Amino acid sequence: MRIKSLALALTAALGITVSTAAFAQETREFSVSTVLSEAFPWGQAAEKWAELVNERSEGRLTLKVYPNAQLVSGDQTREFSAMRSGLIDMAVASTINWSPQVPELNLFSLPFLMPDEAAIDAITQGEAGKKIFAAIDKKGVKPLAWGENGFRELSNSKHLIDSPEDVQGLKVRVVGSPLFLDTFSTLGANPTQMSWADAKPALTTGAIDGQENPLSVFDVARVDQVGQNYLTLWHYMADPLVFGVNKKVWKSLPQADRDLLQQAAVDAGAWEIEKSRRELTETLVAIKERGVEVTELTPEQHQAFVDATAEVYTKWTPRIGEQLVNEAQAAIANR
């Protein structure tokens, strides 16, 4: 009887071992959402992640990248909700697009909070960054790593801009974030929310006068070809990217695959950040060579914009979290 029990126990143990081994060798494909294609650093980050995961899993795990927000019919502000519900497995996403569902992400959209790249790193790589990741996780998406879409600069078809007064009355396309509306309204502009797919036709017809985007987007999308002849480097906000995974997908993976997926995201993010920053000078030269008039603000001119948008902090700091904003400001001051 004892021998029979031992045999049954051994069989059960062997069954578990075989099952686990089979599971470990299972081939799986996951969808990855991005807003921009691999022509842009943002899309390149997603493709690099997919490349590293495929290479390190020896083809067992495949990430299929869907650019242009096609998994949410072009409405990038729906990406987080779709991902949380399981319609999207993974994403390399903008903090702006996820901010309606994760209020803490509005931190990065506070006007003129981050003056340089070191300030971005001070937030993302410090305690504030950890708290933001915890907030994303609490909302149903597992954040893995940071990437970068860069500082957003202002262009228009009307005139040079080097003071808050120059922005007054301009019809400016902005992304679907209430904070962006408040910032531009405070400056006296007429902000209009629309997707990037709708923005270029609107710029072409003159329905809107200007737009704000990183230099890489201005360059690759050839925004200068739709009348955007004036570009101001005002660094009013930067947009980190987040590599994220649906929580159910994450929990379905064995620990070894979670580690692989996360390290690949960290490495892809670091690669993309370094590449996009390194290429900025070359990108700016190319833009100038196409006849765009580029304005770089003096410290005094920059401060005028800071002062003009101060009231936005009064409204948005309670929504983001006063402690988080204070921690971010302290991290920047001590960078």
Cα separations in angstroms, 141 against 54, 104, 245, 254: 22, 14, 6, 17
Average pLDDT, integer, range 8-18 = 43
- The contacts of residue 109 (CB under 8 Å, 6+ apart) are 95, 96, 99, 177, 179, 180, 183, 237, 239
pLDDT tens profile 184-218: 999 999 999 988 888 989 999 999 999 999 999 99
pLDDT tens profile 125-170: 999 999 999 999 999 999 999 999 999 999 999 999 999 999 999 9
Q: Mean pLDDT for the chain?
A: 92
pTM check: above 0.85: yes
pLDDT tens profile 37-89: 999 999 999 999 999 999 999 999 999 999 999 999 988 889 999 999 999 99
User: What whole-number distance in Å separates Cα of residue 274 and Cα of residue 255?
Assistant: 29
Cα separations in angstroms, 188 against 6, 12, 49, 181: 81, 72, 41, 11
120 CA to centre of own chain: 13
* Closest C-alpha to 42, from 84, 97, 89: 97
Domains of the chain: 28-333 (3.40.190.170)
CA dihedral sign, ordered 227, 150, 321, 163: negative
